[in-house]
A and B are shown apart, each in its own frame.
Chain A
Amino acid sequence: MEPKTYLTIMRVFSSLLLVFSIQVSFACGWSVSPETSRLALFKAQREGFFKLTPFYYSADYYYSTNTVSGVDQELNCLEWKKKLGNTVDPKDVHTILYETDGEVFETAYENKTLKKAFEKNTFIEALLLSKNKAFLNYILFAKKLEYNSNTDVKWESWNQIGYNSKDHKLAETGDFEKKIKSAKDAFLKQRYAFLILRYSFYAQDKNEVIRLYDTYFTENKNTILEPWALYYKALCIEDFPLQNYLLSKVFATCEEKSFAVLQHYNWKLTEQTLALAQNDEERSVILSIESFRNPAPDLKTIEEVYKISPNSINLSFLIGREINKIEDWIFTPQYTNDGSPSVVFEGTDWYGNYAKAKKENFNKDILYLRELEYFLISIREQTSGEQKEYITAAIAQLCFIDDDIDSGKKYTNMISDKANASIQMQKNIQLALVSLKQDDLKSEKIQNQLFKYFDSVENLVETDNGLFKNLYSLYRIASADFSKQGDRVTTGLLMMKSDLKSEGEYSYYGSNPYLYSYIGYFDRTATVEDVDRLIALQQKKNKTPFEKYICSGTISLNINYYKDLKGTIAFRNNNLELAYETFASMPKDFWDKNYAYKDYLNENPFTPKILQNDKERKFDYHFNKADFIAKLIQLKKQNTATSNLQLAHAYFNVSYLGNSWMMVAYDWTSGESYVDYVYGDNSENEKAYQKGNYYSLTMAKMYYEKALKMSKNNNEKAMASLMIFECNYYSHYANIISAEEEARNPFKAGQELVNFYSVYKTTPNFRKYNCPLLKAFIN
């Protein structure tokens, strides 16, 4: 019989190891990218921002976007329209140039079915006119040339099956010069030259690229092809400052290449590059490019750009970037569990004295914020039109970050109704902030107004997925403000709403929502009254628009999820009657069908898990929470030695050491689930469950002591004594982790164990559970 207890003790030690290992897994378990957790509320845009999208402030190398500029392509289509006549619709040109697979075009041409394949296409109609034959031939050549760089065609060869069996004739690239020369029309000449220039670039014929540009593009620059060609030429230049200068010119004159320009730009050559600039406009572009990827405070560049180009788009964009930086530094630590900005700099001593560094950084960031704010206020009056509206929105945003709501409100109100849609959206976010900070959030009118602000942003998400981040941030902040007013239900739902927005898309296909994802937030914050409110909200028939909105996607249609939580909280609070009433109102098979109950609530809760070896454990107990609580109430009423012993066993088993811990907690120990990751570690709450019973076995011990005192039966007394020892032992080690602490405060077995080995040494329980390891605790 001895090995059994040995095994039991070993099992407990190994479970302690498991606790440690889970803490480790917490440290490197769930995480989202810094870019995902970063907060940003400012996303006002001016016309022309679109090409700058990849350069928004981001924790990644570049800001990721779901849209790319099509402006250059549209310009090219317009050039074709201008050339072929007004009957040509630029949209039709776009269809052929940018939406038609080369294969499809070629096939239709070869089969003489262009007209049929592209029915009602005005561009094709124009190309098919005999006077335009040269233009048609050009398009055909251009389409064929696409295959020379991309041979992925549908045709396979008869001789081969499998990969590399593709079969397509490449375009003739033999006599390029002849093609250019023989083109009589200057428009076509330049276009052939461009095709060949690009081809030469990929064939690494640098001199040819430069020659073609100099020959065909220096004179006639009145085409979108010119900056495209200049881009390839710039990359063939070996003098880096000159390369930078040419790239900056490409950047200024077209949209399509802006991202590529930033990728190829050579940093740390600012002075040499600036020296080549011919005028202030060019200088301002170079300065802006240099600043577009700077993650550090850069008011200096903003001031310089303002001096030479006060109304430029680049200036506005840099101001917006600066605000996003400050939001990251101030908001992200404030509203996320991670507690640090998404972008941290080398040399920042986060770990040495984190709290101190955090405070210092916060103060530094606030000072910087004000410096930027004062600068913007000082230039506001000199600006005009869209620039002025934009700067006003920027100042308002800085006031809000600084928690200066009155000034924020003042500037928000200065944004006129004529401002563009994006600035209006920013205004709505700011009005929502004013309302959240100053209004009575309990008022239905205010809540519905908030919904309107939220919805105005939601409606724009379809065209700009980047706004998911604004929603994520806005709901986080709104959640915190509702929390300040003590409304834990709305706080929780908004927090969940924020989480849903954080990835820019719902983790729909990855994981289906399950019970704990709906109640996880409330598990750690809610009272039974809160859960009642949540249930009432879920069941409310005529929800207000605000309520409907915060419930969508966050509230489960299964009311029993919430009842289960309510009963569990009542049980944690030792309110057995309420726990019983709640569980009894639920379907009897709820715990057979939901969550992981079937896997974790399946053992007899009245047999202490610790006294069983693996072979003795059955896992076939049909558990019903209501029946279990009813039994506890009955045992309490009986108040005999035997009933108290059973109660003690039950409380032992609902602790984290027992076999029915899922009566009290949804996670065995905090830190295992995604919910723990998003809403924070739950350990402190767990420690308080049932007056500390969950980790420290307080209630179990209390009932064992009661049983010991009341019992007249030595065998029962032996069991109670042994279990009191176990409770003492685990309670001691629940709080002590390090060897130093143990040395200062060593565990001492009490009188109960001495009695177990002396007074009760003839009892069956002694014979069953005694062992040398246990005896070693008696000195």
Chain B
Amino acid sequence: MKNIIFILLFVVLNGATCEKEHEVIRSFCYWKTDLNFENQDDSLIKDLKVQHMYVRFFDVDWNPYAKEPLPVATVRNTSLNESNPEITPSIFITNEVVLQANKKQLDSLAVRIAKRVEQIGVNINEAKADKIANAIVYPKDYYKQENYKRINYDSVKSIELAKLKVDFKEVLIDCDWSEKSKDNYFYLLKQIKKGFPNAQISSTIRLWQYKYASKAGIPPVDKGLLMCYNLEKPDDFSTKNSIGTSEELAQYITHDQYKLKLDIALPLYSWAVVFRGNQFKGILSDYDQLRNDSIKLKKVSNTKYVLQDDILVGQTYLRNGDEIRIEKISEEELEKMISIVKSKIKIDNQTKVTFFSFDKKYINDYGTQNISNYYESF
């Protein structure tokens, strides 16, 4: 009997440790209004071997005066510099839009979204064509070449542009739909699908929509992107951890019965909050440089620093002795979250694992090696 138990245990353990890990598609979310990559961004993409990016193209909100959905915060400057990840256009639609719009407006919204995505796609290609044309017309050290002859830039660019097609494989729709807006939203998704005959349509799935799938419904799309975090406002200090915890995640990912193929989005960001005594003084969004200054800032623990000097940051006068706490999901927490996800959700080589969001500040904060490890641990 003892032997049988031992053998069983061995099988279980062995099964657990030898479970095949997958080469997931390495992805990031880019959610800023300005998409203008610099060399530093290129190196991060290269170091992390990022293959894919969800890029927020624009938001759609309900305009109460015109009483129709209108686009807002469209992405500006669409240049990815030397990087060339596969892009999934992402559109955030407020729940208000889905609640207020009638069928006719949803029809026209779907058409407008398709058109706008195409236009932004053209803009991205324009930036690419510019880059290529520049390299052709002005090769390296061209001014040193005696026989340098300049070719017409515009014609080179138009030839290059013609070679590039707007050809997105997937379009992501992000909406925190409610039970009340479900029918309208799902109708809209079907209409959007018609506008992209050659692309897959995916929809973000928030944690509550996953847990209460029967209430929230399963959107009629090709794929879902499960958002494994719950973002609160950083200035709300009644919240213990505004980004979310593994404990919280476990309370939502309770089953493995979701009837849609899922990609995974994980949080990757942090901020610094300043306290004097126990009193909140302000938020430092750019604390990188401050943190590296071992002279003005004394590290007292992994996440806490104490100011050794008075400084004025913006309108906040920080004094010697103020405490700066870095709030982020710890590396351990993130690993726990990954194992919770893996335990309930099917992962394969086609699964995209994406981090919210792409910013060198957050990436440097976690370190590229750690992030690579997260991808690998799927």
Interface residues of A (CB under 8 A from B): 66, 106-107, 109-111, 154-158, 161-162, 165, 167-169, 458, 461-462, 465, 504-506, 508-509, 512-513, 552-553, 556-558
A161 to B313, CA, bound (A): 36
Asked if A513 contacts B65 (CB within 8 A), the reply is: no
Judging by beta carbons under 8 Å apart, are A161 and B293 in contact? no
Residues of A within 8 A of B63 (CB): 155, 167
Residues in B neighbouring A462, C-beta threshold 8 A: 317
Residue of B nearest to A463 (CB): B317
Are B74 and A169 in touch, CB under 8 angstroms? no
- Answer whether A557 and B295 are a contact pair too, CB < 8 Å, given A106-B65, A161-B123: yes
- Which residue in chain B gives the minimum CB-CB distance to A169? B65
Q: How far is the CA of A512 from the CA of B291 in the complex (A)?
A: 12
Q: Across the A-B interface, give the 9 residue pairs with the lowest CB-CB distance, nearest first.
A: A110-B64, A553-B309, A505-B312, A462-B317, A156-B71, A552-B320, A154-B72, A169-B65, A155-B70
Instruction: Kindly state whether residue B1 has any CB partner on chain A within 8 Å.
Output: no
A66 to B314, CA, bound (A): 11
Report if B66 contacts A (CB, 8 A): yes
Instruction: Assess the B112–A158 pair: CB atoms within 8 A.
Output: yes
Q: Name 10 interchain pairs, CB-CB below 8 A, sorted by A.
A: A111-B96, A155-B61, A165-B74, A169-B65, A462-B317, A508-B290, A552-B309, A552-B310, A553-B308, A553-B310
B151 on the A face (CB < 8 A) = no
Q: A158-B116, A505-B312, A553-B296 are in contact. Are A461 and B317 (CB under 8 A)?
A: yes
Q: Per-residue CB proximity of B300-340 to A under 8 Å, as 1/0?
A: 00000000111111010101100000000000000000000
Tell me whether B70 and A167 are in contact (CB under 8 A): yes
Q: Which residue, B72, B73, B310, has most C-beta atoms of chain A within 10 A?
A: B310
Interchain CB contact under 8 A, A111 and B64: yes
Question: In the bound complex, do residue B320 and residue A553 qualify as a contact, i.e. CB atoms below 8 Å apart?
Answer: yes
CA distance in complex: A154, B65 (Å) = 13
Q: Is the interface of A mostly helix, strand, loop or mixed?
A: loop
From B66, B293, B296, give the contact of A167 (CB < 8 A). Answer: B66
Instruction: Identify the closest chain A residue to B313 (Cβ).
Output: A508
Contact yes or no, B120 A156, CB < 8 A: no
Closest to B319 in A: A458
The chain B residue sitting closest to A111, CB to CB, is: B64
User: Are the CB atoms of B66 and A508 closer together than 8 Å?
Assistant: no
Q: What are the residues of chain A within 8 A of B61 when measuring CB–CB?
A: 154-155
Closest to B123 in A: A161
Which one of B66, B76, B96, B317 contacts A169 once the chains associate, using CB atoms below 8 Å?
Answer: B66
Closest to B67 in A: A110
Task: Pick the most buried of A154, A157, A169, A461: most chain B CB atoms within 10 A of its CB.
Answer: A154
Within 8 A of A (CB), among B274-299: 289-290, 293-296
Q: Please indicate the chain A residues that have their CB under 8 angstroms from the CB of B66 in the complex.
A: 155, 167, 169
B377 at interface (Cβ–Cβ under 8 A)?
no
Interface residues of B (CB under 8 A from A): 58, 61, 63-66, 70-74, 76, 96, 112, 115-116, 119-120, 123, 289-290, 293-296, 308-313, 315, 317, 319-320
Per DSSP, are chain B's interface residues mostly helix, strand or loop, or mixed? mixed
Q: Decide: A552 and B308 in contact? CB cutoff 8 A.
A: yes
Q: Are A161 and B312 neighbours in the complex by a CB distance under 8 Å?
A: no
Chain A's nearest CB lies how many Å from the CB of B357?
Answer: 20
For B317, list chain A residues within 8 Å (CB).
461-462, 465
* Residues of A contacting B65 in the complex (Cβ-Cβ under 8 angstroms): 106, 110, 168-169
Instruction: Report chain B residues within 8 Å CB of A167.
Output: 63, 66, 70
Cα of A111 to Cα of B11 in the assembled complex, Å: 61
- Report the Cα distance A461→B293, complex, angstroms: 24
Which residue from chain B places its CB closest to the CB of A158 in the assembled complex?
A: B112
Residue of A nearest to B58 (CB): A156
Contact of A156 among B72, B296, B309, B311 (CB under 8 A): B72
A66 touches B116 (CB 8 A): no
Q: Are B294 and A557 in contact (CB under 8 A)?
A: yes
> CB-nearest residue of chain B relative to A553?
B309
By CB atoms of chain B within 10 A, which of A158, A465, A509 has the most? A158
A488 to chain B, nearest CB (A): 22
- A465 in contact with B76 (CB, 8 Å): no
Q: Given A154-B72, A556-B295 in contact, is the A161-B289 Cβ separation under 8 Å?
A: no
**Once the chains bind, are A161 and B320 in contact (CB under 8 Å)?**
no
The answer for the CA separation of A509 and B115 in the assembled complex, in Å, is 43
* Max chain A Cβ within 10 angstroms of own Cβ: one of B65, B66, B319: B65
A158 x B71 contact (CB < 8 A): yes
How far, in whole Å, are A255 and B115 apart by their CA atoms in the complex? 52
Asked whether A161 lies within 8 Å of B74 as measured between CB atoms, the reply is: yes
- A168 CA / B315 CA spacing, docked (Å): 33
Please pick, from B74, B295, B312, B313, the residue contacting A513 in the complex, using a CB distance under 8 A: B295
Min CB distance, B309 to chain A, in Å? Answer: 3
A106 vs B373: C-alpha distance when bound (angstroms)? 48
Candidate in B61, B119, B296, B312 with the most chain A CB atoms within 10 angstroms: B312
* Contact between A508 and B123, CB atoms less than 8 A apart: no
- In the bound complex, what is the Cα–Cα distance between A513 and B296 (angstroms)? 9
Residues of A within 8 A of B294 (CB): 557
Expressed in whole angstroms, the Cα–Cα distance for A110 and B308 within the complex equals 51
A458 and B319 CA atoms in complex are apart in Å by 9
Report the Cα distance A385→B253, complex, angstroms.
Answer: 71
Chain A residues whose CB sits within 8 angstroms of the CB of B123 once the complex forms = 161
Q: What's the minimum C-beta distance from A18 to chain B, rounded to whole angstroms? A: 28
Q: Within the assembled complex, what's the spacing in Å between the Cα atoms of A513 and B289?
A: 12
Residue of A nearest to B292 (CB): A512
B311 touches A508 (CB 8 A): yes
Beyond the given A111-B64, A509-B289, A553-B296, please list 9 additional residue pairs across the A-B interface where CB-CB is below 8 A.
A154-B72, A155-B61, A158-B70, A461-B317, A465-B317, A506-B310, A506-B312, A508-B296, A557-B294
In the assembled complex, the CB of A564 is this many whole angstroms from the nearest CB of chain B, namely: 16
B348 to chain A, nearest CB (A): 37
Q: Which residues of B contact A556 (CB under 8 A)?
A: 295
Between A161, A162, A458, A558, the greatest number of chain B beta carbons within 10 A of the residue's beta carbon is seen for: A161
Task: Tell which of A109, A158, A161, A552 touches B120, judged by Cβ atoms closer than 8 Å.
Answer: A161
> How far is it, in angstroms, between the C-alpha of A258 and the C-alpha of B290 when the chains are bound?
39
Q: Return B374 CB to nearest CB of chain A, in Å.
A: 31
Q: How far is the CB of B277 from chain A (nearest CB, A)?
A: 14
Chain A residues positioned under 8 Å from B72 (CB to CB): 154-156
Complex: A512 Cα to B293 Cα, angstroms: 8
Nearest A residue to B96 by beta-carbon distance? A111
* Min CB–CB distance A287 → chain B (angstroms): 36
- Expressed in whole angstroms, the Cα–Cα distance for A157 and B63 within the complex equals 11
Whether A66 pairs with B308 at a CB distance below 8 angstroms is no
Cβ A512 vs Cβ B289 within 8 A = yes
Q: Which of A106, A157, A162, A465 contacts B312 (CB 8 A)?
A: A465
Complex CA distance for A509 and B96, rounded to whole angstroms:
42
Q: How far is the CB of A113 from chain B (nearest CB, A)?
A: 10
| Complex: A623 Cα to B289 Cα, angstroms | 31
Query: From residue B49, how far is it (CB to closest CB) to chain A in Å?
Result: 32
Nearest Cβ in chain B — how far from A670, in angstroms? 25
Measured between beta carbons, the chain A residues less than 8 angstroms from B289 are 508-509, 512
**Residue B70 contacts which of A109, A156, A512, A557 (CB distance < 8 angstroms)?**
A156
> What residue of chain A has the Cβ atom nearest to residue B315's Cβ?
A66
Measured CB to CB, the closest approach of chain A to B323, in angstroms, equals 15
Question: Taking the nearest CB of chain B, how far is it from the CB of A615, in angstroms?
Answer: 24
Chain A residues within 8 Å of B70, by CB: 155-158, 167
- How distant is the Cα of A695 from the Cα of B331 in the complex, in angstroms? 58
Which of B72, B76, B289, B290 has the largest count of A CB atoms less than 10 A from its CB? Answer: B72
* A458 / chain B contacts, CB cutoff of 8 Å: 310, 319
Q: Name which residue of chain A comes closest to B312, CB basis.
A: A505
Q: Does the CB pair A162–B76 fall under 8 Å?
A: yes
Q: Nearest Cβ distance between residue B119 and chain A, in whole angstroms?
A: 5
Cα-based distance from A107 to B119 in the complex (angstroms): 29
A156 CA to B73 CA in the complex, in Å? 8
Which among A106, A109, A509, A558 has the greatest number of chain B C-beta atoms within 10 A?
A509
In the complex, the chain A residue whose C-beta lies closest to that of B72 is: A154
Closest residue of chain A to B286 (Cβ to Cβ) is A509
Q: How far is the CB of B81 from chain A (nearest CB, A)?
A: 20
CA distance A184 to B296 in the complex (A): 63
A100 CB to closest chain B CB (Å) equals: 15
Q: Which residues in B have their C-beta under 8 angstroms from that of A156? A: 58, 70-74
